Amino acid sequence: MTNNRARSSQLMDTARPATMQESPAVKALGQLEEMTWLEATQQGLTEAIQPLVSDCGLLRRSAPRNDGVMVPLSFAGETFAASPDGALYWPAQQALLVADLHLEKASWFARLGQFLPPYDSHATLTALAAEVVRAMEGERLLGAVRREKEEKARFFRALEELNRTTTVAQAADCAVAQAREMGALDLCAVTLVDEPARAGARSRHRVQSVAGEGVAPLSGLTFADNPGLVANVVRLGAPLPGRELQAMERLVIFDSATAVRGLGALKIFPLRAGESTVGTLVCATKRRDGLPDAAQAELGMLALQAAAAVTRTRLYEQAERLATTDGLTGLMNRRSLNAQLAARVREAQRYRRPLSLVLLDIDHFKKVNDTHGHPAGDAVLRGVAAVARAQARETDLVARYGGEEMALVLPETDAGGASTIAERLRAAVEGTAHATEHGTLRVTVSVGVATWPGGGQTPDELLTTADRALYRAKQTGRNRVEAGPGKAAA
């Protein structure tokens, strides 16, 4: 930078006649020389060179009249007009055109010909242009470096945040937040594909996360596969739309029943994980120029990372379900039951609130397996589990205890309330027909109930009390409810 300034100062000294040494133009150029690259653009080159422009009388910012007096000039992709008094008129920013004048000065001076003002003004303008070009090119370089640094910082920050997520909901929310930060989006959403429950059925799409103005109708929206943009992006695995929104006859983003208005620019990116597309990242702004190519490139990279986060968290949730859920019935498994029961007992003892445990066993289940086969037995188990889940309250826990036994943990429930719930469950099972390959089957259950306080002080003691009550129900005729010792509400 020091060498450039020295060369520019030498040029100034050789170009200045004595009459110009103290002119406003020379002072302005001297001030410009002292500026750094960044200062020159931040303070405004127009203000810095205004005294020079006025003193030289070479440049004036105005709109020329096309009356035959002006001489048209074209260079550096711009069209100018020169008048006989040596004035040059231009349509764009002063700083950029001064730089262009320097870069194209040879052809410009040749074409301007007789309209050139005195020599000293030419030399001064040439020196000024050199300083402007230096400042502009330096700022362009610094600006490019800054932008690249900021883009990388945003990307790695987004990657770090996505890697911290442990659930699908967290991953989707994080992707939306990071996308809005990158692109200043007015609408941003993550949609996910829910695979069909049975072969031949259409897949469904779900808006997992959404942010923006007036997006309440989109929150939690689900819709079947359709000709809309989101569904097409999933099918094609490529970003859409491929043209401006104004060129589209009808805009369907999610489904035909959900209208989104007031958008100027839209791009929907696929969330691709390997060969499959797990969802989409919907990005939109109200401004037509709100999604330039650079922003789309960043958002496309974010979509790749979001897809990886969604896939990872899905696998994590599936692994967690497998570790805590019975594969046949979908109920909580024995290990999870033990942990949850221990936590509920501690909670009941701390707050002195009742807690009940219900154990049920399917009557003559071995006969079902021996007569109709294990597939029929599995169908009966799934059916009884569904009835138990339906009869349970929102705060209750339902688990497969083992074999044909199931358990319910009933917080805030005394002995009388637990017996009522158990009887209602027994009657519901008795009245339910279970579809199997050999036709419908009906079964009954025997039920045992234990309650804290009175039925035991530890989880194991509660289980033992409930199991003994269940044994009594079996011994006294089956298809009945028996309760162990416990206290009813006062």
Instruction: State residue 279's pLDDT score.
Output: 95
Neighbours of 62 (CB within 10 A): 8
**What's the burial of 312, exposed, middle or buried (CB within 10 Å: 0-12/13-18/19+)?**
middle
Chain center to CA of 221:
16
Instruction: State residue 130's pLDDT score.
Output: 60
Kindly tell me if the per-residue pLDDT of 197 is higher than 80: no
**Can you tell me the distance from the alpha carbon of 152 to that of 138, in angstroms, rounded to the nearest whole number?**
21
Place 123 in a pLDDT band, splitting at 50, 70 and 90. low
Q: DSSP label at 74?
A: E
Determine contact, residues 103/133, Cβ cutoff 8 Å. Answer: yes
H runs (alpha helix) in 363-414: 365-372, 374-391
Helices (H) and strands (E) in the chain, counts: 15, 15
Q: Which residue has the tokens 């949730």?
A: 317
Determine contact, residues 377/414, Cβ cutoff 8 Å. Answer: no
Of 455, 448, 452, 454, which is closest to residue 471 (Cα–Cα)? 448
- State the Cα torsion 94-99-103-104 to the nearest 10°: 10
Determine contact, residues 224/204, Cβ cutoff 8 Å. Answer: yes
Give me the mean pLDDT over the 53-62 stretch.
Answer: 38
* In the chain, % of residues over pLDDT 90: 49
**Can you tell me the distance from the alpha carbon of 81 to that of 97, in angstroms, rounded to the nearest whole number?**
13
Kindly tell me if the per-residue pLDDT of 287 is higher than 70: yes
pLDDT tens digits, residue range 230-271? 999 999 999 999 888 887 878 899 998 888 888 999 999 999
pTM (predicted TM-score):
0.58
Determine contact, residues 256/170, Cβ cutoff 8 Å. Answer: no
Instruction: State residue 9's pLDDT score.
Output: 39
Q: DSSP label at 167?
A: S
Neighbours of 16 (CB within 10 A): 19
Q: Which stretch of DSSP H or E encloses residue 307? A: helix 293-324
Of 303, 315, 96, 77, which is closest to residue 188 (Cα–Cα)? 303
Place 111 in a pLDDT band, splitting at 50, 70 and 90. very low
pLDDT tens digits, residue range 395-416? 999 999 999 999 999 999 999 9
- The rounded radius of gyration (Å) of the Cα atoms in the chain is 39
Determine contact, residues 98/129, Cβ cutoff 8 Å. Answer: yes
Determine contact, residues 437/376, Cβ cutoff 8 Å. Answer: yes
Give me the mean pLDDT over the 124-129 stretch.
Answer: 54
Sheet strands side by side (includes 88-89): 71-75, 78-82, 88-89
Give me the mean pLDDT over the 162-186 stretch.
Answer: 90
Of 433, 265, 414, 425, which is closest to residue 348 (Cα–Cα)? 414
Determine contact, residues 240/269, Cβ cutoff 8 Å. Answer: no
Give me the mean pLDDT over the 266-280 stretch.
Answer: 93
Q: Point out which residues pair with 223 in neighbouring strands.
A: 205
Instruction: State residue 200's pLDDT score.
Output: 64
Determine contact, residues 449/420, Cβ cutoff 8 Å. Answer: no
Instruction: State residue 41's pLDDT score.
Output: 38
Kindly tell me if the per-residue pLDDT of 217 is higher than 80: yes
**What's the burial of 135, exposed, middle or buried (CB within 10 Å: 0-12/13-18/19+)?**
buried
Q: Which residue has the tokens 């969330």?
A: 271
Place 341 in a pLDDT band, splitting at 50, 70 and 90. very high
**Can you tell me the distance from the alpha carbon of 449 to that of 463, in angstroms, rounded to the nearest whole number?**
9
User: Per the structure block, which two tokens stand in for 416?
Assistant: 């009388």
Kindly tell me if the per-residue pLDDT of 10 is higher than 70: no
Chain center to CA of 132:
43
User: Per the structure block, which two tokens stand in for 113?
Assistant: 């010909």
Amino acid at 475: Q
User: Does residue 194 sit in helix, strand or coil?
Assistant: strand
Place 347 in a pLDDT band, splitting at 50, 70 and 90. very high
Determine contact, residues 178/269, Cβ cutoff 8 Å. Answer: no
Neighbours of 351 (CB within 10 A): 8
Chain center to CA of 194:
17
Place 68 in a pLDDT band, splitting at 50, 70 and 90. very low
**What's the burial of 280, exposed, middle or buried (CB within 10 Å: 0-12/13-18/19+)?**
buried
Domains and CATH numbers, the chain: 2-141 (no CATH), 165-321 (3.30.450.40), 334-483 (3.30.70.270)
* In the chain, % of residues over pLDDT 70: 69
| 466 backbone dihedrals φ, ψ, rounded to 5° | -65, -40
Q: What Å distances lie between residue 278 and 80, 159, 194, 284, 298, CA to CA?
A: 55, 18, 8, 20, 19
Give me the mean pLDDT over the 448-474 stretch.
Answer: 94
Q: DSSP label at 478?
A: S
Q: Which of 22-36, 306-320, 371-385 has the lowest mean pLDDT?
A: 22-36
Instruction: State residue 260's pLDDT score.
Output: 87
